[in-house]
Structure 1
Amino acid sequence: MNEKRRVDPDELLADIQDQSKGKLTVFLGAAAGVGKTYAMLEVARERLSEGINLVAGWVEPHARPETMALLEGIPKVAPKDLEYHGRVLQEMDLDAILAIRPEIVLVDELAHTNVPGSRHLKRYQDIEELLAAGINVYTTVNIQHLESFKDIVAKITGVTVRETVPDSILEHARLQLIDIPTEALIQRLEEGKIYVPHQAKHALDKFFRPGNINALRELSMRFAAQRVDRQLESYMRVHGIAGPWPASERVMVCISSNPFGERLIRMGRRIAEGMKAELLVVYIETPSNSLKSEKQKDQLAKSLHLAQELNAEVISLSGHDVVEELLEVAQNRNVTQIIIGKPGKLKLQERFFGSIVEKVLRQSQNISVHVIPGDGPKTKDDQEAKKIGLRKANDLVPYLVPLAALSVITVIAWLGGSDLGLVNTAMLYLLPVLLSAGRYGKKAGVFTAIVSLITYDFFTIPPVLTFTIADLRYLISFAIMILIGYYLGNLSTRLRIQLINSRQRESQTAALYSLSREIAAVSNLDIVLASVVKKVADIIAGEVVILVPEANGQLALRASSNSKIPFEENERAVATWVFEHNQIAGKGTDTLGGAQGFYLPLVSEQGICGVLGVQLQSSEKYLQAEKRRLVDAFASLTALAIARISLVEKAREAQLLNESEKLRTALLNSISHDLRTPLASMIGAVTSLLENDQLFNETSRLDLLQTIKIGALRMNKLVNNLLDMARLESDMLKLNKEWCEISEIIKEAVKYFEESLGNKREILCEIANKELLVNVDFILMKQVLANLLDNALKYSQPDSQILISVRNNQKQVEVSVRDWGLPIPAEDLEHIFDKFYRVRSPRQISGTGLGLAISKGIVELHGGTIRAENNSEPAGVTIFFTIPLTEIPPSIPAE
């Protein structure tokens, strides 16, 4: 009895996520001319008749009357013009489609390569963006354009397809197979319904041969059948339907820096697809196959990039023995299938000691091994690599130095042979072999050993000056000498490469550790980002930039390893796209590949917090796998640092708000008396007026009203001081600067006291330049003067004058308020601007001690200073404050 299978939560989640995206419908055909576009337009017209919002984003009718007739009446999105090499070419307007957001959009030719200058390199990437936006897409493609079928199609037809799409694009697509008989397709071609006559004849002779068409039809049908079967299995898994499920399989592809690796990866993808298995792509670096040229590095990076496109897991390791490392990975990852390439020509040592393929076959135990033969003839890349190797082999230094040493030893042995003896002479001849093998490697060591034994035989072993060996036991010495040169040279080469790799890993690990330590203790974002770009630039030997969003959401350049090089706008556009779509882009990728740099998003738990850009060297087309992993690690650390600093800022803001709340509470508690006094007088006056209004004459009534007014003004001033102090403490007070005359500020401040003072006190003003313009917050600066005047009026003699003086130079303006009263004790001078600080006075003076503290905060917010001094003659106090002067812009007319 079959039990209902438990639903896999991961598969269920994936199904839900797929439902939030647009649906892709692919009209798949075996070749051009089978009617894919025609069938797509027929379905589109049916959808239009159902009232669905549908537009044609890009449809290529190829001037076929039947197709063009179907296209009539379907709403179209106008293409955009792009200039390329002096020509204006048309391309699909992706942004216009995203703006109108139709339910369905028609996008013909899935494998099309976009015009340079477009957002994406390939049209299938445009379609991915449309699907991510929730728009359903109808498209067309031929079977030969699938990446995993590229090699098979090349073998069948003899034509290498250049425009391909990853198989993963069709992973969740709805397939509609469009097929017609081979004879009907050839007839359409002969009638000129596919190509013009001269092109049709060439196509019939090359690509559209009956055998080729039948093979392509079989491929398309098998692919469609496999896709339908996989979709059925996915449906059964999501809905928990019981059934026979295949055992878990893992396919491992072994590659090198040879271009043949791309073919192995594609074949591995097809085998993994057929087995519903996970695909691993493994590269093992050893001393014997280390990358010696930029060409090899680029080819390896290209192969690994292809593996990532085909959704394979990439594993790159280093070790002593390729076979041992491969089989260890296979055992650790439970690999069931190994795909390895068979070299077209074996090396000499492989003929005697066995090739890698033979060793894998012998030691693979229960793992199935697929051996794929090479293509035989060498490619241009192989020939170029051979030329590079020959050029390096022509370096004569590793051979001339041992020859010079052998010449010196031969002279010594010739002159003192009788005294040294054959054994000591043999040791002398062994010395250049040891030095050459240890210094220059295996080839130089073997070469030196051969030359050394020949020289030793010719000049030392009897009969001298001949190559004849009287005693055959010397052959053992010769063999030992050659073996020492070989093994010591091999060991030296291996140790040298290990040393280089160890140093690289050590420097990379040290850089990561150093960066993690630096950013862990620093809360300044600019310092952290500057450290990151420096570390990354040193490791990858390139230029590095970091962009983070500003308050308005726009990306801004915050750090650069080379500030002398300007950051171009087109590079900023690529970084913006990466930030908005949370995907890598730039050089070495299929998205905006024309950019100079490689960009990846900085992602933390809080979301995308920036973009890291790396400008590769001009000779590098792809970011090498090792560098890519390192850049990813740096990007993760940077994202964590940015997120941490952001959280620190938020915590600091929260703490400031908390402190502000505490300050407000303390203020209310400390000034309760100052609040109760005016309130009591106001309540008493109002009560008297309401209850005994007829007992008061006009003069008494006015006195009571005046009492109410004075109490209200006092409370208003007190409340304003409280609010201003709280805003200053919490950094919430913002300046609203404007150009105004200093004399106007003083006039408004004095006017505040005119009514209360009447003719009792006199406020004098001395202004050197009454038309002087200052760039300040008018209201706040008026409040500063009002607070200083209020302080002077309180602490000076009741009938004395107050003097306001204004002086200026080219850099600043100085304003002083002088009174004639009691001096401030010396110990109090430096504290009078503190909160709640009040100078002891013989008179009873009300106040909270906030006026001068608020004045200090406002002046410093303007970038100025404030201080107090006791007058010498006559007695009193003068408070000075300065405000910086800035250059008046041309838009402000000078008075």
Structure 2
Amino acid sequence: MKIFLGAAPGVGKTYAMLQAAHQRLADGIDVVAGVIETHGRRETEALVKGLDLLATRQVEYRGHSFKEMDLDGLLARRPALALVDELAHTNVPGSRHVKRWQDAEELLAAGIDVYATLNIQHLDSLNDVVEQISGVKVRETLPDSVLAKAGEIELIDLPPEDLIKRLHEGKVYVPEQARRAIDSFFSPGNLTALREMALRHAAERVDRQMVDYMRAHAIAGPWPARERLLVCIDEKADGDRLVRVTKRAAERRGAAWVAVTVDTSRAHAMTEAEKDRIAEAMRLAAQLGGETSTLQGDDIVAAILGYARERNATQIVVGRSRRPRLFRLGASVTDRLIRSAGDINVLVVGGEADGKAQRLGSSHMAEKPDWRGFAIAMAAAAAATGLGFAIDIWLPVASISVAYLLAVMVVAMKAGLRPAILASVAGFVAFNFFFTEPRFSFAVSDTQNILTLLFFLIAAFIVSNMASRLRAQIQTTRESARRTGNLYDFGRKVTAAATLDDVLWAVVHHVANTIRGRSLVLLPSGNGLAIAAGYPPEDQLDDKSNAAAEWAWVQGKPAGRGTATLPASLWLFLPLKTSRSPVGILGVQMTEDADMPSPEQMRLLETLTDQAAVAIERTTLVSDIEAARVATERERLRSALLSSLSHDLRTPLVSIMGAASSIISYDEALDAASRRDLAQTIQDEAERLNRFVQNLLDMTKLGAGAMKPRVDWSDLRDIVGAAVQRSSHLASRHAIKVDIAGDVPLLCVDAVLMEQVFFNLIDNACKYAPAGTPVKVWAMRTPEHVTIEVADQGPGIPPEDREKVFDMFYRVGQTDSQAAGTGLGLAICRGIVEAHGGVIHAEPGLHEAGTCIVIHLPLPPALDLPPAEAEA
């Protein structure tokens, strides 16, 4: 962003911006004028010609139509360079942003360069200075950080005489406006002061650029330690004025600065207006580019000095105490800071004009008194008087004062300091009137009674002060414990939540109870943001709230009610951000009696949004990990399938093609035996290919849940016998021994599927066992099931692979081409056995030699009988 900075209105900053835009246009850059304020100047209007001027947007407000820059049109047009005049302009209510500079920031975030204009008097830090010099309150301001973040600044300046001449010639305002402007704002003195401020800001920027250049190029020079300013904000001082003074001092020195406020035990005694003044000053400090920090402690001076030394502050900025020394009970915070600061400089900023100070003072006096506390004080004094009459019967008069001290202490604990002081005065008057001689008179005849009354009054003031401070500390402790408990309870809830829905419900429910309002969470969906949870349940938002939520999601900044972006929304939206990316939006809405969350609630909300974002991201990460695991498993299966296809399909096909081509090519030369051998090869390889295809089909059915056993009563001997007969040509090099105990009953199984199980097991055993070794199948009955084993004397399966061999396409170690399998046989066996309610696993063979595949099939309850009865 390049800003054309004017020392005053009418110096030609818009004209200079348009000239620069024409130069960029001649260089082939796509330039679009978003908004140009010509103010009827012919020279400026002439420069607008030749530029692509975007149509303005009509906004209706209070029955009138206003023209505003079409931000969405600019974003859709996406030029390389956009021209935005009058950067400090306030948009008409109903626009997306309150200020035009926020529109420019959104353009920059979208990758569009911006040329903009700005007058020096619109800087927020100079607002009170301009008012003091010119007597004119500038309403449209922008944060200094906008100017600081600009990539380039071009100062547009005119001597005061030339500018006044332009006014007389009607080149700035129409004649009537020009006469009023010359008489008020455009006096030579005002213009000179504005010109000085503009030149100073430009010089400071150039100086920073020079220092950056020296550091980047390692140019030797003096490098003094950087100064740091610390400004103290409290409820009594004019915080906005202190912040602006500190901002200007820091700008002049190129120093960092931080605004602090001390949260003491007396903070709960402050009025809402005082709390709002502190919060407003801290927000202004953040807007002007300073750091903000809230300190804890009852000793304000010690907290400030400790923080200043910790942050290496070189100067502390404080406000002058408004109370005259006559009314101070002790040294003010300012005086104590000056005495204790040591080598840290203290800058005391003077107060405002007397008239304004008086208005502020009168507003404090007009605050609504605590009548309930005063009533408690008078009631306590009356109760103490009644108790005093009872004490007067048995005890000396001096003991009656204890009753009044007790009343003062109770009032201080229940109602605070001011009602306690009233109770002290009322007790003093009542004690003098009712219990000192002469009674029922305010006269005091005895000197001893005078001392008693005097010391009673002093003790009452001390007790009331100590008791009220104790009450404030207790309230602070309770509030701190409540906040800690709130965060702990929230953390416990979101940690215990296992699913995303549980996390979202915990978030909205807890936030709604915290702010005593409504809350909702919006998560990204295919068509933008969608309400994922709400408390009370909410299923839709109005258009303004939807726009604010979308903007908060895209920009990653708060939007909606109480912010500078789309404040007409009924909801305040806070982005839920983590270190990776935003995960959603939290919306809050206060009840009707509270327009916005208090500063304390906002701090708590920020903490809750951080925890909520982490909790949502945790559930998302779990889903991502599961998805990654599934993708990895899918990729492994795909690779295994391709590898298996490339071998187990290609090998039999090559054999078939070779045998067939031999028969065709050498038909006459082949004898009957050779032709039979080639035909047998074709048949064997075709059956091998058929088994592979059948295994693939079976696994597909198992995976889809389409393979449902058609159970019927079957004899295990018939099933195993059929499998042995089917695999006889595969087991030519092995002896298959079958041993089934006589007490094995009929089984309720699918005979065809179970035959496939035993065929696969016998095929595996014959494939891997050495030639000449037996393959044994035996079965026996146990109390709960039938146990079947298929054992061989092959190399065996390593312990770490005994469970993996039942996975699809898994093969143990490296095998030769003849013995290699598809890795599907055992996976199919497991699927079929488990479909029958059984269990299958691998164990080492007898004496740890070979492999034994063990199957447990459940006994059918209806046929849990001896074999003879079952056969009958």
**Which TM-score band applies after superposition, normalised by the shorter structure?**
0.7 to 0.9
- Paired AA for residue 203 in structure 1: A
TM-fit CA distance, 1:63:
0.9
Query: Unaligned 5+ residue runs, structure 1?
Result: 1-23, 729-779, 799-822, 858-867, 873-895
TM-fit CA distance, 1:39:
1.7
Q: Quick one: which of 179, 193, 201 aligns to 1:201?
A: 179
TM-fit CA distance, 1:99:
3.3
1:256 counterpart residue number:
234
Asked if structure 2 preserves the Cα contact closer than 8 Å seen for 1:686 and 1:708, the reply is no
Q: 2:139 & 2:833 partners in 1: Cα distance?
A: 74
- Deviations along 1:505-527, one digit per CA (max 9) or x if unpaired, are 22222232333344345441221
Asked if structure 2 preserves the Cα contact closer than 8 Å seen for 1:301 and 1:624, the reply is no
Asked if structure 1 preserves the Cα contact closer than 8 Å seen for 2:374 and 2:419, the reply is no
Distance 1:571 1:677, change over 3 A: same
Distance 1:660 1:137, change over 3 A: closer
Asked if structure 2 preserves the Cα contact closer than 8 Å seen for 1:301 and 1:622, the reply is no
- Paired AA for residue 312 in structure 1: G
1:283 counterpart residue number:
261
SS of match in other structure, 1:159: coil
TM-fit CA distance, 1:324:
2.9
Is 1:607–2:586 an aligned residue pair? no
SS of match in other structure, 2:611: helix
2:196 counterpart residue number:
218
Q: Quick one: which of 96, 106, 126 aligns to 1:119?
A: 96
Q: 1:478 & 1:121 partners in 2: Cα distance?
A: 62
Is 1:179–2:125 an aligned residue pair? no
Distance 1:439 1:410, change over 3 A: same
1:87 counterpart residue number:
64
Q: Quick one: which of 396, 401, 419 aligns to 1:421?
A: 396
TM-fit CA distance, 1:256:
2.3
Q: 1:348 & 1:201 partners in 2: Cα distance?
A: 50
Asked if structure 2 preserves the Cα contact closer than 8 Å seen for 1:340 and 1:369, the reply is yes
Q: Quick one: which of 455, 460, 475 aligns to 1:480?
A: 455
- Paired AA for residue 336 in structure 2: K
TM-fit CA distance, 1:61:
0.8
2:345 counterpart residue number:
368
Q: 1:300 & 1:620 partners in 2: Cα distance?
A: 18
Q: Quick one: which of 308, 326, 329 aligns to 2:304?
A: 326
Distance 1:826 1:428, change over 3 A: farther
TM-fit CA distance, 1:59:
1.0
SS of match in other structure, 1:643: helix
Asked if structure 2 preserves the Cα contact closer than 8 Å seen for 1:121 and 1:592, the reply is yes
TM-fit CA distance, 1:226:
1.5
Is 1:441–2:420 an aligned residue pair? no
Q: 1:682 & 1:49 partners in 2: Cα distance?
A: 75
Q: Quick one: which of 550, 562, 565 aligns to 2:536?
A: 562
TM-fit CA distance, 1:203:
1.9
Q: 1:718-729 residue pairs with structure 2 within 5 A? A: 718-723=695-700, 725=702, 728=703
TM-fit CA distance, 1:563:
1.0
Is 1:640–2:614 an aligned residue pair? yes
Structure-1-length-normalised TM-score:
0.74
Distance 1:649 1:27, change over 3 A: same
Q: 1:824 & 1:90 partners in 2: Cα distance?
A: 93
Asked if structure 1 preserves the Cα contact closer than 8 Å seen for 2:561 and 2:568, the reply is yes
TM-fit CA distance, 1:189:
1.9
Q: 1:42 & 1:331 partners in 2: Cα distance?
A: 51
Greater Cα offset, 679-688 or 430-439: 679-688
Asked if structure 1 preserves the Cα contact closer than 8 Å seen for 2:711 and 2:749, the reply is no
1:817 counterpart residue number:
none
SS of match in other structure, 2:53: coil
- Paired AA for residue 130 in structure 1: L
Q: 1:664 & 1:825 partners in 2: Cα distance?
A: 40
Q: Quick one: which of 499, 504, 508 aligns to 1:529?
A: 504
Distance 1:825 1:292, change over 3 A: farther
2:430 counterpart residue number:
455
Greater Cα offset, 427-436 or 676-685: 676-685
SS of match in other structure, 1:388: coil
- Paired AA for residue 535 in structure 2: S
Distance 1:293 1:359, change over 3 A: same
2:136 counterpart residue number:
159
TM-fit CA distance, 1:713:
5.8
Q: 2:556 & 2:693 partners in 1: Cα distance?
A: 54
1:506 counterpart residue number:
481
Q: 1:245 & 1:25 partners in 2: Cα distance?
A: 29
2:802 counterpart residue number:
none
Asked if structure 2 preserves the Cα contact closer than 8 Å seen for 1:413 and 1:420, the reply is yes
Q: 2:8 & 2:596 partners in 1: Cα distance?
A: 32
Q: 1:207-246 residue pairs with structure 2 within 5 A? A: 207-246=185-224
- Deviations along 1:332-366, one digit per CA (max 9) or x if unpaired, are 2222111112244448642x423222222222222
Distance 1:231 1:870, change over 3 A: same
Q: Quick one: which of 643, 653, 656 aligns to 2:627?
A: 653
2:365 counterpart residue number:
386
Greater Cα offset, 309-318 or 510-519: 510-519
Q: Quick one: which of 542, 545, 548 aligns to 1:574?
A: 548
Asked if structure 2 preserves the Cα contact closer than 8 Å seen for 1:145 and 1:163, the reply is yes
Greater Cα offset, 540-549 or 705-714: 705-714
Greater Cα offset, 340-349 or 581-590: 340-349
Is 1:46–2:23 an aligned residue pair? yes
Count of residue pairs brought into register by the alignment: 753
Q: 1:792 & 1:100 partners in 2: Cα distance?
A: 77
Greater Cα offset, 653-662 or 176-185: 653-662
Identity of aligned residues (%): 37
Q: 1:349 & 1:309 partners in 2: Cα distance?
A: 36
Distance 1:27 1:291, change over 3 A: farther
Distance 1:277 1:689, change over 3 A: same
1:748 counterpart residue number:
none
TM-fit CA distance, 1:310:
1.1
Query: Unaligned 5+ residue runs, structure 2?
Result: 720-743, 762-776, 780-823, 836-857, 863-872
Asked if structure 2 preserves the Cα contact closer than 8 Å seen for 1:721 and 1:854, the reply is no
Asked if structure 2 preserves the Cα contact closer than 8 Å seen for 1:537 and 1:544, the reply is yes
- Paired AA for residue 189 in structure 1: L
Distance 1:327 1:389, change over 3 A: farther
TM-fit CA distance, 1:110:
0.9
Q: 1:16-35 residue pairs with structure 2 within 5 A? A: 24-35=1-12
Q: 2:221 & 2:481 partners in 1: Cα distance?
A: 51
Asked if structure 1 preserves the Cα contact closer than 8 Å seen for 2:381 and 2:404, the reply is no
Q: 1:329-344 residue pairs with structure 2 within 5 A? A: 329-344=307-322
Asked if structure 1 preserves the Cα contact closer than 8 Å seen for 2:747 and 2:859, the reply is no
1:808 counterpart residue number:
none
Q: 2:158 & 2:182 partners in 1: Cα distance?
A: 17
- Deviations along 1:721-775, one digit per CA (max 9) or x if unpaired, are 33454xx4xxxxxxxxxxxxxxxxxxxxxxxxxxxxxxxxxxxxxxxxxxxxxxx
Q: 1:693 & 1:84 partners in 2: Cα distance?
A: 99
TM-fit CA distance, 1:579:
2.3
SS of match in other structure, 2:395: helix
- Deviations along 1:241-295, one digit per CA (max 9) or x if unpaired, are 2222232211111112468211211111111111111111111233445464443
Q: 2:696 & 2:607 partners in 1: Cα distance?
A: 54
Q: Quick one: which of 559, 571, 578 aligns to 1:597?
A: 571
Distance 1:379 1:201, change over 3 A: farther
Distance 1:459 1:605, change over 3 A: closer
Asked if structure 2 preserves the Cα contact closer than 8 Å seen for 1:323 and 1:356, the reply is yes
Greater Cα offset, 135-144 or 598-607: 598-607
Q: 1:344 & 1:609 partners in 2: Cα distance?
A: 49
Distance 1:394 1:287, change over 3 A: same
Greater Cα offset, 267-276 or 316-325: 316-325
Q: 1:434 & 1:508 partners in 2: Cα distance?
A: 28
Distance 1:110 1:384, change over 3 A: same
TM-fit CA distance, 1:824:
10
- Paired AA for residue 339 in structure 1: V
Structure-2-length-normalised TM-score:
0.75
Q: Quick one: which of 397, 418, 421 aligns to 2:375?
A: 397
